[in-house]
Amino acid sequence: MEKSSKIYVSAAGGVLRAIFVTLIVILIFSFVSTKISFSEGITNMVILVTTLLSVMYGSIYSSRKSGKKGWLNGLLVGLFYILIFYIVSLVDGSSGGMQLRDFIRVTLAIVVGILSGMLGINI
């Protein structure tokens, strides 16, 4: 397999794993929130932490799978994950405008993705 296509295939696998982790955590949180009422701040924090942990897991998986250019794998996983997250939120009915917290979420996902990709190469 060509080197650059191996990076994209491993990044796609990382994104799929990250989305799967997100779905599991969101389903668990949804079930718990039917029993316990949470404030909007806690809900936003759960979504942010879930996003970052999912990107971290997907980036580590992707960089370990490809075996090289961990920063690029992490960057791709972070970007594609956030892009899919944004598209799903648009389909769900949120406005297309980006707020400050959205820019922070995108920046954090990219930084965590890059750092986790580098970590995945070295562990």
In the chain, where are the structural domains located?
Answer: 3-122
What would the pLDDT profile of 83-106 be if each residue is shown by its tens digit?
Answer: 998 888 888 877 667 788 888 889
Question: If you average pLDDT over every residue of the chain, what do you get?
Answer: 89
pTM metric for this prediction: 0.88
**pLDDT band, residue 52 (cuts 50/70/90):** very high
> Over the stretch 19-38, which tens digit does the pLDDT of each residue have?
999 999 999 999 999 998 88
**Which is nearest to 58 in space by CA: 1, 115, 122?**
115
Q: What is the pLDDT of residue 92?
A: 81
Between vectors from CA 104 to CA 72 and to CA 38, what angle results, nearest 5°?
120
